[in-house]
Amino acid sequence: MKRRKKDIVFIINPSLWYQNMYPSGILCLSGYLENNGFKNTIIDSQISPQRILSSQREAAIFRKIKQIKPKLICFSASHREFNEVIRINQNIKKYNNKIITIVGGPQPTFRGEDFLKSGFDFICFGEGEKTLTEFAKEIFKKNPGFARIKGLGWKKKDKNIFNPPRELLTEAEINSVSRPPYEKIDPRFFEMDIATIRGLPVKGALLLTARGCPFSCSFCGCNLIFGKKLRFKSLKNIEKEVSYLKKHFKIEAVWLIDDTFTINKKHALAVAQILKKHQLIFNCQVRADTLDERLVKDLREAGCFQMDIGVESGSQRILDKIINKGTTINQIKNAFRLAKKYRIRTLANFMIGLPTETKNDLKKTEKLADEINADVYLFAIATPLPGTRFYEMVGEEISADEYGLLDWNGSPLTKRLNKSKIKNLVQEKERLRKKYLLRTLKKSFFSWENLKFFLKRKYKYQRLKFVLNYLPKLTKKHFQEK
């Protein structure tokens, strides 16, 4: 059967359009398929030259599907996108039940049966590149067979079948694709935004340089998908990717989205030198126990402008017994001290409402937040995502209808899922957000360091316009809620 470029389609969920956080997973899948001879198309906000409302986006997707008549449509879904993806798939099936649909990502990996029950033909669990490639080969055969495809879930009559899990990709397989196919997605993903270096408006891109995480934090399911062993992109491919992003999208910053960028110091410094060569500043996610003075100094000299540090709690008991974080309060304090010494901005991530957490634990968290003097503070209500050890600790069943309600800011589920000894978690979270908001604004927009950044770089007017539009919305919300 002759294959067309539009026979295989990826849909970027409409709720993700116009965000700086474009789906890097879909880009990896698309590039891997292309590299193995399967041309494909990505449907995203390029559908419309102007921004369109959420209510109009799904209708635009269906018009595009009717126009190109694909054979296979691929989705990705987190828990938050479950209802959206199910709704779009059901409407596709109403239009043409012969279109094959498959969904991958974290939620299908942990709860694949919910997607099969709700109308999907197939689910992909774990890393998807090889599974999707083998699956694509089969669907173009006259008599396709799916039983031997590892990592595939499917429906046979009324029975759900889950094939054996697939081995993780080797570094050679990861590096068989020199760079993700950025040319397939909307250039508006690379417009001015505060997400790349959170709190600072820049033209930026996301960059993944390694897969896997050797740690076992109870709230995270990363290594259940990508494993504990680190697998690295080659420096040659990273160079190609960075060069492309700089040339075609005129970016000035990169957010390194590795789960913990500084685990392998040699790799981290090599990547940093590539970014320095291209005159790009960068933000990275780090663990406090992976930092030392030499590393922090070298990263700063290479252009590290901000570090996102997972503090989680100021209670050592919570860190050890509940989160299994593996870091100490002294390591956390030292990490922020080093960052401040070398003038690297810091973002501190905190969680409240963890099982058995007391008011005294919360006081310790607030005390630590004061002591570290971060530039940006983010407080989240601990949320048990299916597939994590935290979900098992909470011991409350969350149905498919409730996935969309799981929210780190609080939701109708918060009270039922709260296994801490802290009442009114939403109010406590808002109190902490408000307490540190003005400090964050001052350091994000009005510091001397950031003023120099504005004055030295291009896009001065775009940056100023962005800030003037963004600040009133943020401060209005803050003062209205007081």
Domains (range + CATH), the chain: 5-168 (3.40.50.280), 191-480 (3.80.30.20)
Contact 119, 89 (CB under 8 A): yes
394-413 confidence digits (pLDDT tens): 999 999 999 989 999 999 99
**pLDDT band of 2, cuts 50, 70, 90:** low
Helix (H) or strand (E) holding 35: helix 24-35
| Burial call 5-21: b when 16+ CB within 10 Å, e when fewer | ebbbbbbbbbebbbebe
Among 124, 23, 32, smallest CA distance to 73 is for 124
What's the CA gap between 302 and 319, in Å, rounded? 32
Long-range contacts of 118-124 (CB under 8 A, 24+ apart): 118/86, 118/89, 118/90, 118/400, 119/86, 119/89, 119/90, 119/93, 120/86, 120/89, 121/154, 121/155, 122/146, 122/152, 122/153, 122/154, 122/155, 123/152, 123/153, 123/154, 124/151, 124/152, 124/153
Percentage helix, strand, coil, to 5, in the chain? 50, 15, 35
DSSP state of 107: H
Name the band, by pLDDT with cuts 50, 70 and 90, for residue 480: very low
Q: Cα dihedral angle (387, 392, 394, 400), rounded to 10 degrees? A: 40
- Quote the pTM value: 0.93
- The token pair at 320 is 């050890």
Per the CB < 8 A criterion, the answer to whether 202 and 264 are in contact is no
> What DSSP character marks residue 321?
I
The lowest-confidence range among 154-158, 288-292, 299-303, 396-400 is 154-158
Average pLDDT, the chain: 93
Using one digit for the tens of pLDDT, what is the confidence trace for 435-449?
Answer: 998 888 777 766 777
**Using one digit for the tens of pLDDT, what is the confidence trace for 355-375?**
999 999 999 999 999 999 999
